[in-house]
Chain A
Amino acid sequence: MQPPVEYITRIRDNYAKLGYKPYQWVMNESTPPWTPLRKPLSECRLGLVASGGIYVTGQVAFHFKDDVSFRTIPTTVKTSDLRTAHFAYDQTDARRDPNVVFPIDTLRRLVKEGFIGELADHFYTFMGGIYSSRRVAEELAPQLTERLLAERVDIALLVPV
């Protein structure tokens, strides 16, 4: 069994080879904030934020240069209408089955099975790979948090790629 892949090292090397400026990984040293669950999972309304570059056909796709925009995906979306636009991972499988980076059918099933209470009306997606951690901290994170609060979610699942 091989140890987990060291992506930070690998991506730093690849960027250097391509002549990109070095990507500054966010290194959070401090203890993260903590909010306890208020109710059992089976009663929770779940929100989701995913960074696999998912959009719905008809929406504007992501561009690859510090795109800090996000898309609003209705949780009633037809899975076959989901698309991906991302510069940094092999999208072959995500385009065959978006559930590998945006678990919409899986979550709808877990609601039906009573494992979680319900889904928010909308999920949120963006692309990631954003150079400016300041813009993530000052623009994207507050905007997404505001949406999650407006959706009245009890818990949020975050799915990066």
Chain B
Amino acid sequence: MGLIARHAEAAGIPTLCMGSALDILKAGKPPRAAFLDYPLGHTTGKPHEPELQREILRQALEGFNSLTVPGSIKMLPFRWSEEDEWKLTAMSTGDSRTPRHDTPQYQTEEDRRLAEASNPAACPVCEVSA
């Protein structure tokens, strides 16, 4: 996402890149960033906690005002849990990745049926956006 942030910013759009992987965020070095120390898959909050989601986003977006040095990262003051035990699991568990299929991976069979009905040419390695 760092590449995309830099590209958009260079084209004249102020960007802010959120992230829950601090090392990846630092490596990509986007113009403005906000780090949320949550497990991957929760870049903008916990499920069904709208008040928390709102607060996270407000503080992240405030970075548009407070960040003035290109490449700096705002550290958001939220913690997933008191003990951070999820981090030990994240570091020690084996791979949670699924194989890299080259066909569309629908969440439901109904989704597949709908997509194939409206995109007869829905090729498995589609290059164009729907």
Identify the A interface with B (CB < 8 A): 1-2, 4-10, 14, 17-18, 20, 25-37, 41, 44, 47, 49, 51-52, 55, 57-65, 68-72, 83-85, 87-97, 99-103, 105-107, 109-110, 115-116, 128, 133, 136-137, 140-142, 144-145, 148-149, 153-161
Contact = CB atoms under 8 A, between A and B. Distances in A.
A57 B14 contact: no
Q: What 7 pairs between A and B have smallest CB-CB spacing?
A: A97-B47, A141-B7, A89-B41, A61-B104, A160-B1, A2-B84, A4-B22
Q: How large is the interface on B (under 10, 10 to 19, 20 to 34, 35 or more residues)?
A: 35 or more
B15 A156 contact: yes
**Would you call the interface of chain B mostly helix, strand, loop, or mixed?**
loop
A58 B115 contact: yes
30 contacts: A5-B21, A26-B3, A26-B28, A28-B6, A32-B70, A41-B61, A44-B64, A57-B114, A58-B118, A59-B130, A60-B115, A60-B126, A61-B106, A69-B127, A72-B129, A84-B107, A85-B105, A90-B39, A97-B48, A101-B44, A103-B57, A105-B50, A141-B3, A145-B4, A149-B11, A154-B14, A156-B8, A156-B15, A158-B15, A160-B21
